[in-house]
């Protein structure tokens, strides 16, 4: 149990709480609906903007001992997920506050990402603990958005998926396994962009097996959150 706890960070626990309790507290609309539809919500907009700025600051700095980045172990792979997630969050944040044309934030996010690779060993040094604090709001916000998207998708599938027919099918086990595999694959794509990339950026170097454990905890909490919120029993 001690070894398990050592691999699970406070961010993992907070993310589980957001995902499990989110559907119970969302009411008639999810956080994803508000953020992605860019409805007027200044409080959420300020939080989202703060989260995006924190993630950009983390990208523009490095941890002690992180002196250079090469193609095998550097930040090149992070640019795409980072720009996509930060651009979406910050762009929506501005319009939630009431500022039109929020998509212009994608440009600065891309510039920050590229400069973080070009400047590399000349980036300011910031301790891991502070960098984790910088990206924590971003991770919690985007995790909650992903939960809302998954809940909306499974709700749309309600009535379209005949579970009794699947269970009674001769190949029921294979069908269930296929659903689980597809669910894990789709979930990982979003998890990699919204959770893994910013957290690995802030606190790099965690072994792959740790991330497998953290993703498994996230996926189980996602299913539990949708079940508690009355979502369809198909977790994607």
The pLDDT tens digits of the residues spanning 141-179 come to: 888 877 777 766 666 555 545 555 555 656 657 766 776
Residue 233 domain-assigned? no
Is 236 part of any domain?
no
Would 41 be classed as within a structural domain?
A: yes
pLDDT of residue 133: 92
Which residues constitute the domain of residue 169?
2-228
Does any domain span residue 234?
A: no
Q: Is residue 97 part of a domain?
A: yes
Number of C-beta neighbours around residue 7 at 10 A: 16
Residue 213 lies in a domain: yes
Domain count, the chain: 1
Considering the entire predicted model, what is its pTM? 0.74
Q: What is the DSSP string of 142-208?
A: HHHHHHHHHHHHHHHHTTTS-HHHHHHSTTHHHHHHHHHHHHHHHHHHHHIIIIIHHHHHHS----H
Q: What integer pLDDT is reported at residue 94 of this predicted model?
A: 77
């Amino acid at each position: 149990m001690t070894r398990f706890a050592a691999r699970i960070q406070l961010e993992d626990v907070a993310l589980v709480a957001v995902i499990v309790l989110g559907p119970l507290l969302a009411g008639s609309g999810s956080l994803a609906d508000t953020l992605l539809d860019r409805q007027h919500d200044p409080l959420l907009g300020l939080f989202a903007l703060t989260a995006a700025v924190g993630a950009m600051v983390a990208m523009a700095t490095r941890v002690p001992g992180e002196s250079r980045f090469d193609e095998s172990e550097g930040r090149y792979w992070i640019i795409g997920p980072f720009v996509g997630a930060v651009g979406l969050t910050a762009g929506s944040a501005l319009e939630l506050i009431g500022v039109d044309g929020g998509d212009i934030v994608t440009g600065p996010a891309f510039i920050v990402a590229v400069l973080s690779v070009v400047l590399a060993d000349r980036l300011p040094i910031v301790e891991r603990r502070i960098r984790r604090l910088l990206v924590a709001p971003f991770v919690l916000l985007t995790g909650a958005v992903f939960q809302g998207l998954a809940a909306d998708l499974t709700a749309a599938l309600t009535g379209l998926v005949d579970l009794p027919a699947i269970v009674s099918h001769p190949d029921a086990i294979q069908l269930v396994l296929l659903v689980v595999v597809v669910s894990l694959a789709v979930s990982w794509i979003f998890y990699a962009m919204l959770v893994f990339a910013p957290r690995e950026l802030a606190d790099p170097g965690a072994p792959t097996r740790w991330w497998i454990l953290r993703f498994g905890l996230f996926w189980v909490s996602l299913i539990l959150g949708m079940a508690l919120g009355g979502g369809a029993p198909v977790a994607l």
